[in-house]
Structure 1
Amino acid sequence: MKNIGIINCYNVSKRCSSSGCFKALYNETGSFERYKGEGARIISFVHCNGCGNQVVNQFLERAERMVQRGVDVIHLSTCVRSKCPWYDEVMKNLSEKYEIEGYSHAKKNSK
């Protein structure tokens, strides 16, 4: 079983229940499909501190604390992938040191 940590977007968290991330985990869809047959559980779920010039360092600090507490794989939430202007830089820096998945679930259809 893999221990998962998710980092979501602080700004989006003000209006999002994070149910999409949890639903994807429990249904083994989206980025969690890779754990079929192995199992996964979320042991850490945090958000960034919002936009600013220290975003990359904030993600790195959170990732380090997650790993110290037993997280095997860190998933950035789908909202980070779709909304964060520093997403590429965050992914680059995190993936140099940690096992990273760049999203959590499929984007919702806007109907």
Structure 2
Amino acid sequence: MKVAILSCLKANDVCTGMGCLQSYHDKRDAFLIYKDEETRLMAFMHCNGCGTDPGIDEGMIEKLDRLQDNGVEVVHIGICTKNKEGKLCTTIERIVQMLKERDIKVVFGTHR
């Protein structure tokens, strides 16, 4: 199973990605679904920022095309993509829609 992780660009201010990567490597939290499966982490990527329209953002389109071209089957959406009330960012919502249009499965969550 080829897996990727999508996180919020703003999270880079305080996030090392360690929580997502440790959960992936230990197959725990949201990655527990792969406990009996061989996986390969293909990408750890970020959105291109708040207010961008991923549907016309050439950089984001290229990123998603690259995921698809390299056989990524599922993208985990990092916990950093939700606000304190648990609402998903509108930019990430659009990226999720674009992933699904490419028949790439989306799983919400990475670590606790």
Partner of 1:69: 70
| Counterparts of 1:11 and 1:103, CA distance in 2 | 17
The percentage of counterpart residues that share the same residue type is 26
Q: Deviations over 1:8-32 (max 9, x none)?
A: 1111122100001011111211221
Q: Is structure 2 residue 70 aligned with structure 1 residue 103?
A: no
| Counterparts of 1:24 and 1:56, CA distance in 2 | 30
Partner of 1:25: 24
* Matched length: 104
Q: Is structure 2 residue 83 aligned with structure 1 residue 94?
A: no
CA displacement at 1:89 relative to structure 2: 4.2
Residue pairs, 1:3-42, within 5 angstroms: 3-42=2-41
RMSD between superposed Cα atoms in Å: 2.1
Partner of 2:89: 85
Q: Deviations over 1:44-91 (max 9, x none)?
A: 1111111014145555542321121231211111111x2352144443
Partner of 1:109: none
Unaligned runs of 5+ in 1: 107-111
What SS does the aligned partner of 1:44 have?
Answer: strand
What SS does the aligned partner of 1:49 have?
Answer: coil
Change in 2 beyond 3 A, CA 1:30/1:60 = farther
Unaligned runs of 5+ in 2: none
Q: Deviations over 1:23-44 (max 9, x none)?
A: 1111211221111111222111
* Displaced runs of 4 or more, over 4 A: 56-61
Query: What TM-score do the two structures reach when normalised by structure 1?
Result: 0.77
